[in-house]
Amino acid sequence: MTRNILLAIVAIATVASACNLEQEVEITLPEYDSRPVIEAYLEPGKPFRLLITRSDGYFDEFPSIDNFPGGLLYDSAQVSITHQGVAYELDNQLAFDPTAGKLYNYASSATVPENVGEPFELYIRFPDGTEAFAETSLLPRVPIDSVVIEFPEGDMPEDTLARALTYFTDDPSQVNFYRRVLHAGSLDSLQQDFVADDQIVDDSLIVFGTGFDYAEGDTVINTLYHITEPYATFLESLNAAVSANGNPFGQPSPVISNIEGSANALGIFTGLIYDRRIDIVEQ
């Protein structure tokens, strides 16, 4: 009796372990209404320009080569940016910035004035009658004080690699937000991109570091953006959304944009003020 029961248990366990242990799950997501996505950056000295695309259902097909970028871009909207009482109309025209490698579908020939603290107001009216609006202003540039290249002390092969420490001075009298972007060699080779604020800093000196990654002769490009709180919130929520995409440890978050209005649009309207330093790694 005992033996038979044991045999039965072993047989059940064998059958169970032979089952397909990897199961695919089919997901049917809820209905989704497409929304306009707006990227509008004000860079002093550069034309007023912005990109309006549209969001899609998560499992919708991406635009094919035949209808790209038309399948992605949101055209035929009326766009204006008002500053110091002057309304700058942005035409629905495709423009490509070869230096930055970025595409825009609304632009004006007028350039953005560097008026720190003065508000810019964005207004968009879409063909379906819905509207979107936002407001922002330019912040003062925060210069990079110094970039220190540091080699480790040692004679191992890996000790020939250096790190870069980027120092800058924060204004402790107000809450500031920064975006630190680091490239190696060229602007095509992104090494770091993150948002930080000065609320955890004990004094006014802030440093951003790197790993021991750079050989003698390498180029390190530091860019320090002084950004608004809505832009910092937008970037953090966007990063959270991206990192939670399939990551069970992630904290999902809707993207928090500073665009308002009946169009239910997503996106950001902000100034881009930065300081950039290019350094060659030397012993």
Partner 1 sequence: MKTFLPLWLSLFVLTLGTAQEVTVSGSIADADNGETLIGATVVAKGLDQGTTSNAYGFYSLSLPARDSLTLTFSYVGYQPQQLSLYLTKDTTINVELGTGVELDEVVVKANSYREQINSTEMSVEAISTREAKILPVLLGESDILKTIQLKPGIPSGSEGRTGLFVRGGASDQNLIVLDEAVVYNANHLFGFFSTFNTDAVKDLKIYKGGFPAQYGGRLSSVIDVKLKEGNNQELSGSGGVGLIASRLTLEGPIKEGKSSFIVSGRRTYVDLLTSQVNRANEGNEDFSPIPDYYFYDLNAKVNYKFGEKDRLFLSGYFGRDVFGFDGDFFDFNFDWGNATGTARWNHVFSPKLFANTTFTYSDYQYNIENRITGFSFGIGSNIEDINLKTDFYYTPNNQHTIRFGAMATQHNFTVGRLQAGSDDGIVSFSAGQSFDGLEFGAYVSDELELSEAFSANVGLRFSGFNNDGKTYVGLEPRLAARYKLSERLALKGSYARMYQYLHLIANAGVTLPTDIWYPSTERVAPQRSDQVAVGGSYILGDQYFLNLEGYYKWLDRQLQFVDGAQIFVNDNLEEEFAVGEGRAYGMEFSIEKKQGRLTGWIGYTLALTRLQNFETLDPNGRFAQESEGFGPFNPIYDRRHDISVVAMYEISRRLTASATFVYGSGDLTWLPPGRFSFQGIEGVPFEAVVPDFRERNNFRLPAYHRLDLGLVIKFFPKWGKAI
Kindly state the tokens that stand for 238: 């966007």
Of the candidate residues 7, 9, 87, 116, the single one contacting partner 1 (CB under 8 A): 9
Q: Which helix (H) or strand (E) holds 222?
A: strand 219-227
Kindly state the tokens that stand for 29: 């997501």
200: which residues sit within 8 A by CB, 6+ positions away? none
Residue closer to partner 1 by CB (options 82, 240) is: 240
237 part of the interface to partner 1, by CB under 8 A? yes
99 part of the interface to partner 1, by CB under 8 A? yes
Residue closer to partner 1 by CB (options 82, 197) is: 197
Of the candidate residues 7, 87, 94, 100, the single one contacting partner 1 (CB under 8 A): 100
Map residue 243 onto helix, strand or coil. Answer: helix
User: What's the min distance (Å) between Cβ of 71 and partner 1?
Assistant: 11
116 part of the interface to partner 1, by CB under 8 A? no
CA distances from 166 to 32, 108, 141, 181, 235 (A): 44, 36, 16, 11, 22
- Residues in 190-229 that interact with partner 1 by CB under 8 A: 190, 193, 199-203, 205-207, 209, 211-212, 221, 223
CA distances from 3 to 7, 13, 14, 66 (A): 6, 15, 16, 70
User: What's the min distance (Å) between Cβ of 255 and partner 1?
Assistant: 7
- Residues in 21-80 that interact with partner 1 by CB under 8 A: 25, 27, 29-32, 34-35, 37, 39, 41, 51, 53-58, 62, 72
> Distance (Å, rounded) from C-alpha 51 to C-alpha 74?
8
User: What's the min distance (Å) between Cβ of 84 and partner 1?
Assistant: 25
- Work out whether strand 219-227 and strand 274-280 pair parallel, antiparallel, or are unpaired: antiparallel
User: What's the min distance (Å) between Cβ of 86 and partner 1?
Assistant: 25
- Residues in 130-189 that interact with partner 1 by CB under 8 A: 150, 152, 156, 158, 163, 167, 181, 183, 187-188
Number of residues in contact with partner 1, rule: CB under 8 A? Answer: 78
- Residue 86 pairs in a beta bridge with 83
Residue closer to partner 1 by CB (options 83, 183) is: 183
User: What's the min distance (Å) between Cβ of 222 and partner 1?
Assistant: 11
Backbone angle region of 65, left / alpha / beta, with phi > 0 → left and psi within -120 to 50 → alpha: alpha
Is the distance from CB of 227 to CB of 270 less than 8 angstroms? yes
User: What's the min distance (Å) between Cβ of 244 and partner 1?
Assistant: 7
∠ CA(35), CA(37), CA(67), 5° rounding? 85
Find out whether the peptide bond into 63 is cis, omega within 30 degrees of 0.
no
Residue closer to partner 1 by CB (options 71, 113) is: 71
16 part of the interface to partner 1, by CB under 8 A? yes
